[in-house]
Structure 1
Amino acid sequence: MSQYRALSACGKEWVFLREEPFVSESDRAAIQLMSEQAGANIWRDYISGEHLYPELFASDMWVNTQVQTEVPWEARWESDNESLPEEVLEYCSQWGQDTRIYFCCHSDLVFETTWGVFERTWKAFLFLGADLILVGRKKKQALQFKETGFVSLLTR
């Protein structure tokens, strides 16, 4: 059983096929949609073993209690500036371009790629929904892009 499935399997492929923000063919090839089972395992191990969706998180869960700071992302997302907010880049500055990251929408919808690909394509990823969580493999830092237009810089 493969740990990945086709992007078209979840109906979200359009996010990465838009003209704006543009995602190159090589970056699209590096964005993997995890199988439901593999995604559920990542969600359980990195996010929560109890709650399947961000909107169900308890107030005492790490995502809500381990916030280092919150940084606005929405104005940058809407601008012509393609880079993530400087505070996010600084917070994740120890991550190499090839650091494996998991972009988690909910337990059934988890994407795997590298930090370098995410840095270039982050605007496309944010079309996937609200309260999205990014974790790095074997990293303590995490990010939650909130519907409020802020990104929480988290410590797992």
Structure 2
Amino acid sequence: MSHSYIPFELYKRKWIFNHKDLPVSDDDKAMIKPLSDKSAMEVWNKWISNKSSRTEQFTKGDWPAKQDAWSATEHWQAAWDAGDNTLPEAIIDHIQWSDDTTVYFCYEKYQVIETRWDVFVRNWKCFLFFDDGPLLVSPQQKQAIMFEQNGQYKLGTRG
């Protein structure tokens, strides 16, 4: 599946990666690729849901709506507020992907960012400036994470 991208300079949420308190290197910025609406929709329909366009709309038949898709619920807010950029330990334990694994950070059907696992790990706090239920998935891997506004996240496996 080949994707089309929005140039980073034109991405309307680019400020989250230009925040002075959470600097993102130029090398990492080059690997943060917002998808065009059409490509975002293709990723969402294929890997998340072809029925719902946002997390709170998931219904029966959507894999994220299945209780057994999620193995653990943990808290991310404290780690986000902490001084260092380390991901919560449970995420590191759950996901053992190589640095160059392609990941999609999916805010909703038309807001998806393609990046690499190592870039997400270094800059995860920036991605979470918008925390209304985004999911992190990888086409090559079954593990998934859903971040919730209440400061929790769920670790799971894609159906």
Alignment TM-score, normalising by the size of structure 2: 0.92
Report what 1:70 is aligned to.
Answer: 73
SS at match of 2:129: helix
Structure 1 residues 19-58: aligned runs within 5 Å? 19-58=20-59
Checking the alignment, whether the CA contact within 8 Å between 2:55 and 2:108 is kept in structure 1 is yes
Task: Quote the Cα distance in structure 1 between the aligned partners of 2:8 and 2:111.
Answer: 10
1:88 paired to 2:66: no
CA distance in 2, matches of 1:7, 1:27: 12
Quote the residue 1:114 is aligned against: 116
User: CA contact under 8 A between 1:12 and 1:128: conserved in structure 2?
Assistant: no
Identity of counterpart residues, as a percentage? 32
State the AA in 1 paired with 2:38.
Answer: Q
Partners of 1:12 and 1:42 lie apart in 2 by 19
Tell me the alpha carbon deviations over residues 43-66 of structure 1, each in whole angstroms, 9 at most, x when there is no partner. Answer: 000000000111211266321321
Structure 1 unaligned residues grouped into runs of 5+: none
Name the SS for the 1:4 alignment partner.
coil
- 1:28: how far off? 0.8
**d(CA) in 2 for partners of 1:29 and 1:145?**
24
Contact 2:145 / 2:153 at 8 angstroms: preserved in 1?
Answer: yes
Q: 1:2 to 1:115 in 2, by over 3 A?
A: closer
Partner of 2:85, secondary structure, is: coil
Alignment of 1:137 with 2:139, yes or no, is yes
SS at match of 1:129: coil
SS of 1:88's equivalent in the other structure is: helix
Instruction: Work out the CA distance in 2 between the residues paired with 1:132 and 1:17.
Output: 20
1:88 partner amino acid: I
1:57 counterpart letter in structure 2: F
Q: Which residue of 2 aligns with 1:79?
A: 82
Q: Give the AA of the match of 2:49.
A: S
Bigger shift: 54-63 or 64-73? 54-63
Tell me, in whole angstroms, the C-alpha distance in 2 between the residues paired with 1:61 and 1:80.
36
> SS of the residue aligned with 1:102?
strand
CA distance in 2, matches of 1:59, 1:21: 38
Deviation at 1:118, TM superposition (A): 0.2
The one-letter code sitting in structure 1 at the alignment partner of 2:5 is Y
Q: CA deviation at 1:7?
A: 3.1
Q: How many residues align?
A: 155
Secondary structure of the 1:104 match is: strand
TM-score calculated relative to the size of structure 1: 0.94
